[in-house]
A and B are shown apart, each in its own frame.
Chain A
């Protein structure tokens, strides 16, 4: 069966520090991968998606970046965090070419920038 792992679960980082959040998927190949951010009490905002290794599409201009070094690994990074980067970050995967399958989400990372 397919599983998705996301870590860490919580993170408190000072302003200006770097960020690296990791997401891995097991039990499937060539998944579409996504990073979403959810501000407190709000809906989900798509940040990045990837349809293959090294292929990253950005939906929102920001100081975050994403990389996909392996088929089932998706990394969200920042060189210098801002206070506005605080939020709940969710990784998700979907079957390539099958939008009707929806997404399977990871358990999320709650990031607080102080």
Chain B
């Protein structure tokens, strides 16, 4: 069965510093996708970044990058130059490769950025 694990319930980072949020996954499907979403206190889920299982390069989107280590089944999110507005819950998710594209989510990490 597929599984996403986020072992950090909460993280603190100083403004302008970089932070890494951990995510490990388990799947037997050779084709899958990995996602990170941000959920601010308002509750909306905001898509941040995507990594395909066959992608050779680590995905980057502005200040977000995904450190994809396939052999270790990890997909950590790196946020560079943290801003106060980055304070939120962050969820790692995986799609199962089927046409339905169903996403399963980890339990999330609450990131707090200190001024």
A→B interface (CB under 8 Å): 32, 34, 42-44, 46, 49, 51, 57, 59, 88, 90, 92, 94-108, 110
Contacts and interface: CB of A to CB of B under 8 A. Distances in A.
Interface of B: 33, 35, 37, 42-45, 47, 50, 52, 91, 93, 95-108
A46 B103 contact: yes
Given A44-B105, A99-B100, 12 more contacts: A43-B105, A44-B45, A51-B100, A90-B43, A90-B45, A94-B101, A99-B95, A99-B101, A102-B35, A102-B47, A102-B101, A105-B45
Contacts of B42: 107
Given A42-B107, A44-B91, A49-B102, A99 B96 contact: yes
Contacts of A99: 33, 95-102
A51 B105 contact: no
Nearest 4 A/B pairs, CB to CB: A99-B101, A105-B45, A99-B95, A43-B105
Contacts of A97: 99, 101
A46 B104 contact: yes
A23 B110 CA distance: 28
Contact of A103 (B97, B103, B106): B103
A17 B42 CA distance: 26
A59 B101 CA distance: 14
A44 B97 CA distance: 19
Contact of B43 (A59, A96, A102, A110): A110
Nearest to B91: A43
Contacts of B106: 43
B47 to A, nearest CB: 5
